[in-house]
Amino acid sequence: MEEQKAILKEAAADGYNAADRPFDFVGEGGATALVCEPDPAVREKISSGIKAIGYQITAPETARDTLKAMRFHIFDLVVVNDLFDTTNPEANDVLQYLENLNMATRRRFFVALVSEKYRTMDNMVAFNRSVNLVINLKSIDDVGKIIKQGVADNKAFYHVFHETLVKKGKG
């Protein structure tokens, strides 16, 4: 817990550095994704799958780099392995950071958890881990299709909520 707080404080304490910004330019309607995967082969499969459905991608190497990237950009999609930059999935700094965001900010992210422990699209695990979608490593070849379906389901589920926020001037 103290280590996680230290990483958050360290990332937040760094001054502004343009090199920390994940993208120089994102066109109108451009969707962005953050891929937090330790295995280069799996990271490439995830990146290819989500590029195919229209996302611009950044793939930081460490949790600290990930948190720095999230300081300057709200990503449309975050794909994070439960063992990214940790050996204990319950102490994943990126997931803990996302869990602790205020709800208005958190709802702007679509978070997909990659794990070899959980079944793909297990909604109870997703709810328990505070993510939108779970993807098992055995299903990684279909990651683009899975995420596309998950994002569509999420948009349909929250459509009325977001519409109401816009009407109230809060969206």
Does residue 20 lie within any of the structural domains?
A: no
Does residue 66 lie within any of the structural domains?
A: yes
Lowest mean pLDDT among 65-79, 139-153, 156-170: 156-170
Does residue 16 lie within any of the structural domains?
A: no
Does residue 15 lie within any of the structural domains?
A: no
pLDDT digits (tens, 9 = 90+) for 7-32: 555 555 565 555 555 544 445 567 99
Nearby residues of 124 by Cβ (< 8 Å), 6 or more positions away = none
- Mean pLDDT over the full length of the chain: 87
Q: Is the pTM of this model over 0.85?
A: no
Does residue 139 lie within any of the structural domains?
A: yes
Does residue 73 lie within any of the structural domains?
A: yes
CA dihedral sign, ordered 107, 113, 117, 118: positive
When divided into structural domains, the chain yields a total of 1
Does residue 14 lie within any of the structural domains?
A: no
Q: CATH number, domain at 150?
A: 3.40.50.2300
Domain that holds residue 135: 2-8+27-167
Work out the pLDDT band at 164, boundaries 50, 70, 90: confident
On whether the CB atoms of residues 23 and 34 are closer than 8 A, the answer is no
Does residue 17 lie within any of the structural domains?
A: no
